Chain A
Amino acid sequence: MKKLLSVLLLLSMLLSCLLLAGCHGRLVTPEELAAGGEAPAPADASGDEAAASPAETQAAPGANAFAVPASFDENKKITITFWAKNDSNKTQAAIYKKAIEDFQALYPSVTVNLRLYTDYGKIYNDVITNIPTRTTPNVCVTYPDHIATYMTGSGVVVSLEELAADPNYGLGGAALKFDGPSREEIVPQFYDECHIGGVLYALPFMRSTEACYVNKTFVEKLGYELPEVLTWDFVWEVSEAAIAKGSDGKFLVNGQEKMIPFIYKSTDNMMIQMLRQLDAGYSTADGEILLFNETTKDLLYTIGEHARSRAFSTFKISSYPGNWLNAGQCIFAVDSTAGATWMGAEAPLLDIPPEQLVEFETAVLPIPQFDPEHPKMISQGPSVCVFYKDDPQEVLASWLFTQFLLTNDTQIAYSETEGYVPVTLKAQQDPAYQDYLARAGEDNQEHYRVKIDAAKLLMANTANTFTTPVFTGSTSVRDAAGLLIENVCKAQRRNQTVDEAFMDKLRTEVCSLYQLKPSAPGWTAQARAGTETDPETGSSALPAGGGTGGQADQGPLPTASWILLGSLAAAWLIIGLISGYSALKRRRERNKKFT
């Protein structure tokens, strides 16, 4: 009987171990859910299941150091996956493919599988989903905000410090088979932006900022002279002047039935930059949220007034600024410099019927400023990070490819697809790139003036750019900043009352939506971001739908978990009782023997 009991106990323990292992949850991807919960396909653009088996190769969570191999083993076949984003632009897709071909020609033992996205948010979602199942890509185009979230699962993203400094395979290393940039040849500002907590976790790939694309013809028609640097007061004043209508109900400035003088594409950027220009609070590096302050509220009142008059609107409410600009229905269109090819009457890319185009002169200016003597604008654009894998050679191959994306050919070709700027001084100073800049306006395709002016704007203002602090939850703060503007504008357009009560309600709703935790009520109180990712499992508590928002409330433990925990406790209790009972029995038997 004792043997049977022992076997049962042993089995119980084994089962417990199995259960504990099996209870590790995982995220279900949208595709899996749609497919009825089937396992995800390999993250491999080619669909070749044998090509990459990330689940087998990625290091277990907990690995947090990477030792650079003494040499790169070129006899070993290595396959890496690269998740990249293009702006719905097939030329950009072609440049990625060419970079891969060129890299593979130099390193024939390495195969790079490309998976293309047109949305950073989708890349972010897919990475988050694949962290628990260890099926992340090797290399990924992303934003530092997103990397901060990836990093909450330990051992997910490779610190690039040692790799970058390696004398052979580091930046400008002696053993590289290509002419990559040295540390000093990367634009310092852009290089610094890739540090999180003082550690290098990415390399910059492209940089852009926002520009105000102006219908100069209409500004002058309204009797104004366009300044070199726009001020917010100037833009509001001209915009209000532009909504005057004639007796026929049409706008005087364009003779059309539609006109929104000022449209902002990214309202999160709008709020972030306005606050920075006023030296008002937004967030701190350690996750303190200063967004909900009196300056923010004042800005919302101002923006809302112009939304009510219809002098101002947003992309989410009214569609792409460029479409309105090109149809002669907008005067100030703020969008990324990476969208310059869509801006202007002669833009090479158009989204409206050609018959709707209106002739006008397009000026490319920095976004409006509160202090034109000290302009401030955001630095944005993709960076590239490397994910941990068990095989150091695979990580090294990923790092080599990441560096290859910074070679002049790729940098110059990609930057010329839009108003992007190469991230290396080496590429910026290359005669081929200088020639490209000098030929602005020669044609309306490769040398489209507006596009090149947008790139020049960023190069002239690199010292005036800034980024926001990166921490887990910083994406939520960004989203919240935009939502404040969107909701105030909607309310004003709908003739709802926007007063202190509205503002307080708005603040509460936005904090609740993004799980921002204010320390006290009111617009002067500070808040903290929720933790987006479970540090143990790396799983995300994203709002359903895969937004890049903050943490959804985890709520109380589910009943099943309580049952499991209770069962385990009960099992240990029974084991303890049995052990105690057995010990007591043995002692009694021993006592019997001796007595």
Chain B
Amino acid sequence: MKKIVALLLVFVMVLALCACGEAKPAETPVEETKPEEAAPVDDGQTVVEETPAEEPAAQAVMSFAEFSAAEVDAPVVVEAYVQAHQSWWDNKISVYAQDADGGYFFYDMACSEEDAAKLVPGTKIRVTGFKAEWSGEVEITDASFEFVDAEPWIAEPLDIAALLGTDELAAHMNQFICLKDAKIADKGDGAAFFFNWDNSGEDGNCDLYFDVEVNGGTYTFVVRRYLTAPGSEVYEAVKNLQVGDTVDIEGFLYWYEGPQPHISAITVK
């Protein structure tokens, strides 16, 4: 009897030990706030998530030309191949995507963490949402998506050297782009880059901004921390830039009151 009691006690304690295993909260955010453009002023409260608006009625998949011609706020459906995405957060994800004709940015698209893991570059998805424009960036918001069975496709980077400073550049918004032999310009006070747009940030808690000189013009590029986080090869490489360095850059042609690419790779020559 005593042996049974002792065994029971041990068994109970083992069970209790198992129960105490700590699981990470599945919904703990990877990011902290709405990842949008550099915010010059924020005197109010934090930006919070919104409930998705009414689902657009079922409609045919649009070509890139049809999407481009659609009015802002129109319901849209497109198919495109994932090229990269920002970090998943709160069942939402922002995706850079492309097809043979043009680029897309799906902002805060509804997405489970499980599906986010499947959004690897090359994956084809069908996205249903509304066309929007925010500070010049044309995107799809309040969107949902489904996977499309297709061969993976990765876009070749478009060299934008000849397009910088021209009106034609906007037609390539959100596409995978590259720039070769660009010279790092003085961002201000002799710095090759800024933490945040005006150097008000600190290492690790903000995006990095740097300027390059191409064909006599100066253009701003951004290391978006939700795309290439602090500690990543890109983030650290930009922190080591020097004014006058010659670099090759790859990234996505994001727009904020003008071209402001989010870079995905940089090589110092």
Contact = CB atoms under 8 A, between A and B. Distances in A.
B21 A34 contact: no
Contact of B199 (A30, A90, A509): A90
Given A30-B30, A494-B54, A547 B40 contact: no
B21 A5 contact: no
B107 to A, nearest CB: 11
Given A30-B28, A543-B90, A548 B53 contact: no
B104 interface: no
A351 B40 contact: yes
Contacts, number: 242
Given A352-B257, A545-B29, A574-B8, A88 B198 contact: yes
Contacts of A567: 12-13, 15-16, 19
Contact of A122 (B32, B73, B133, B197): B32
Nearest to A492: B73
A567 B16 CA distance: 6
A273 interface: no
Given A5-B5, A353-B258, A89 B200 contact: yes
Given A118-B200, A381-B43, A494 B130 contact: yes
Interface string A1-32: 10011001100100110010011010111100
Interface string A258-269: 000000011011
B2 A87 contact: no
Given A88-B198, A121-B46, A487-B53, A544 B27 contact: yes
A63 B49 CA distance: 35
B2 to A, nearest CB: 5
B17 interface: yes
Contact of A509 (B39, B40, B42, B51): B51
A19 B20 contact: yes
B205 interface: yes
B216 interface: no
Contact of A28 (B16, B21, B25, B42): B25
Interface residues of B, number: 69
A326 B25 CA distance: 45
Contacts of A509: 51
A583 to B, nearest CB: 15
Contacts of B19: 560-561, 563-564, 567
A319 B197 CA distance: 17
A336 B45 CA distance: 12
A544 B30 CA distance: 9
A139 B19 CA distance: 38
B237 to A, nearest CB: 19
Given A12-B13, A266-B44, A568-B16, 17 more contacts: A4-B2, A12-B12, A19-B16, A33-B24, A88-B40, A90-B200, A380-B44, A487-B53, A490-B142, A494-B130, A513-B51, A544-B28, A545-B29, A549-B49, A552-B27, A564-B16, A571-B16
9 contacts: A15-B16, A28-B25, A29-B28, A88-B38, A118-B200, A322-B40, A487-B50, A544-B91, A545-B90
Closest 3 CB pairs of A and B: A121-B46, A545-B90, A544-B27
Interface of A: 1, 4-5, 8-9, 12, 15-16, 19, 22-23, 25, 27-30, 33-34, 37, 45, 86-90, 92-93, 115-122, 124-125, 143, 145, 208, 265-266, 268-269, 316-320, 322-323, 335-336, 338-339, 342, 349, 351-353, 356, 380-381, 418, 475, 478-479, 483, 486-487, 490-491, 493-496, 509-510, 513, 543-549, 552, 560-561, 563-564, 566-568, 570-571, 574, 577-578
